[in-house]
């Protein structure tokens, strides 16, 4: 029997699998798809997450796929900075890493998966979907299906980690409650690959424009992201149309400057699982929490989950700790995940508030302390 069955090998499952190898746990990472999802999603990783990737043995493979981010700012409708910060080139945090790296998620995922070859006890099974499981007193039994042929087989493991994303079948099968923390908002997400340098900022920018709140940020390399908030009455079809997308982008660039990789309306959510542990089962990543993207914390929170969990499983497996240690996973990770979701939600609300107030210069004295708390009281601190 293997130690750990990992259901879903997106970025969080792939980091979990590498950490299992590093800590001497045997593991099978099941993944329904044959290829890494090929469109950009997460935009950044913070310094503490780089440290976890280092511990998982994959940071050297990841770094060439990233760029150092230059800072972040809130702008008014005219493009004037309200508040922000610039990261000096070459700055390293107390962790020894750049404060924040821009990423290209598909390349990041491939780099993380490439580490799995160095762990003989860890197996990646692509095109394998976990469809059922049953918790026994001393192990978990899984039913695994090949979606192409429909063939099924049984596996067993000491523990199961559901890293199967926001719509997690593992979470649903375990009937773990999924609580809405009160942010549901539609945004058009546009990812674009530039053909040439058109002088765009290397900072993450929140444009607090009453007409349309917008986020603009660099991803790694030539990739750029725009996020446009939908107005009441705007439909998904009209927002995703070629003409509308280029009319929205027109403030920054014209069609010859790059190619749109994706223009899709997403509903940003703020949700959290009621518990991250149910006996032999654990939830991690988007399966455990979903975060509006304004602080770039969705993926990072998931990687922190497995950074917290895997060494504990290894200690229990080696008999160096009792099963009680595993209860600290929910106790430690869930409050921090809630804090990240709420912090990101407040940032989204702050953008809306600034945009609605419009007259930023005269109001900045009143909302300044709130903004200061949002910018410096949470994850945008690298001391």
Q: Judge contact between 131 and 143, C-beta under 8 A.
A: yes
Closest approach, Cβ 372 to ligand FAD, in A, equals 23
Our CB check for ligand FAD shows the closer of 21 and 302 to be 302
Our CB check for ligand FAD shows the closer of 289 and 360 to be 289
Segment near ligand FAD (CB under 6 A), from 5-13, 17-25, 147-155, 360-368? 5-13
Which of 4, 26, 27, 32 is the binder for ligand FAD (CB under 6 A)? 32
Segment near ligand FAD (CB under 6 A), from 164-172, 235-243, 317-325, 342-350? 164-172
User: CA–CA separation, 279 vs 233, rounded Å?
Assistant: 46
Task: Enter the tokens of residue 185.
Answer: 């908002």
Does position 31 interact with ligand FAD (CB under 6 A)? The reply is yes
| Phi, psi angles (nearest 5°) of residue 267 | -95, 115
Which of 266, 308, 317, 370 is the binder for ligand FAD (CB under 6 A)? 266
Does position 47 interact with ligand FAD (CB under 6 A)? The reply is no
Closest approach, Cβ 383 to ligand FAD, in A, equals 21
Does position 43 interact with ligand FAD (CB under 6 A)? The reply is yes
User: CA–CA separation, 281 vs 288, rounded Å?
Assistant: 12
Within residues 278-337, the interface with ligand FAD by CB under 6 A covers: 285-286, 293, 296-300, 302
Does position 12 interact with ligand FAD (CB under 6 A)? The reply is yes
Our CB check for ligand FAD shows the closer of 143 and 315 to be 143
Site string for ligand FAD, 87-116 (x = CB under 6 A): ------------------x-----------
Which of 21, 30, 181, 229 is the binder for ligand FAD (CB under 6 A)? 30
Q: Judge contact between 304 and 333, C-beta under 8 A.
A: yes
Q: How far is CA 243 from the centre of its chain?
A: 30
Site string for ligand FAD, 129-158 (x = CB under 6 A): xx----------------------------
- Residues near ligand FAD (CB under 6 A) are 7-8, 10-13, 30-33, 41-43, 105, 129-130, 163-165, 169, 189, 266, 285-286, 293, 296-300, 302
């Amino acid at each position: 029997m293997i130690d750990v069955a990992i259901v879903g090998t997106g970025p969080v499952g792939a980091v979990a699998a590498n950490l299992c190898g590093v800590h001497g746990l045997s593991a099978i990472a099941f993944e329904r798809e044959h290829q890494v999802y090929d469109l950009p999603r997460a935009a950044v990783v913070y310094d503490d997450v780089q440290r976890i990737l280092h511990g998982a043995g994959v940071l050297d493979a990841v770094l060439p796929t990233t760029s150092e981010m230059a800072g972040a700012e809130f702008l008014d409708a005219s493009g004037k900075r309200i508040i922000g910060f610039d990261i000096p080139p070459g700055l390293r945090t107390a962790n020894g890493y750049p404060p924040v790296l821009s990423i290209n998620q598909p390349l990041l995922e491939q780099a993380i998966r490439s580490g799995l070859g160095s762990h003989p006890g860890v197996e990646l099974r692509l095109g394998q979907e976990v469809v059922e499981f049953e918790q026994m007193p001393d192990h978990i039994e899984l039913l695994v299906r090949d979606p192409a042929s429909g063939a099924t087989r049984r596996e067993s493991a000491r523990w199961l980690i559901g890293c199967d994303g926001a719509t997690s079948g593992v979470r649903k099968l375990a009937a773990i409650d999924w609580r809405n923390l009160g942010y549901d908002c539609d945004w058009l997400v546009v990812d674009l690959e530039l053909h040439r340098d058109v002088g765009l900022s290397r900072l993450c920018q929140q444009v607090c424009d009453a007409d349309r709140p917008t986020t603009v940020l660099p991803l790694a390399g030539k990739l750029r992201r725009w996020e446009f908030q939908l107005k009441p009455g705007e439909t998904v079809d009209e927002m995703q149309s070629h003409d509308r997308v280029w009319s929205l982008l027109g403030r920054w660039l014209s069609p010859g400057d790059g190619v749109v990789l994706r223009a899709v309306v997403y509903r940003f959510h703020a949700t959290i699982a009621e518990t991250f542990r149910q006996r032999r089962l654990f939830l991690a990543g988007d399966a455990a929490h979903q975060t509006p993207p304004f602080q770039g914390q969705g993926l990072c929170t998931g990687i922190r989950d497995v950074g917290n969990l895997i060494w504990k499983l290894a200690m229990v497996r080696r008999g160096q700790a009792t099963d009680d240690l595993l209860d600290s996973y929910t106790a430690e990770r869930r409050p921090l995940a809630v804090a990240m979701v709420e912090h990101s939600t407040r940032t989204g609300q702050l953008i809306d508030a600034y945009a609605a107030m419009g007259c930023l210069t005269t109001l900045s004295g009143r909302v300044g302390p709130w903004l200061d708390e949002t910018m410096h009281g949470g994850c945008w601190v690298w001391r």
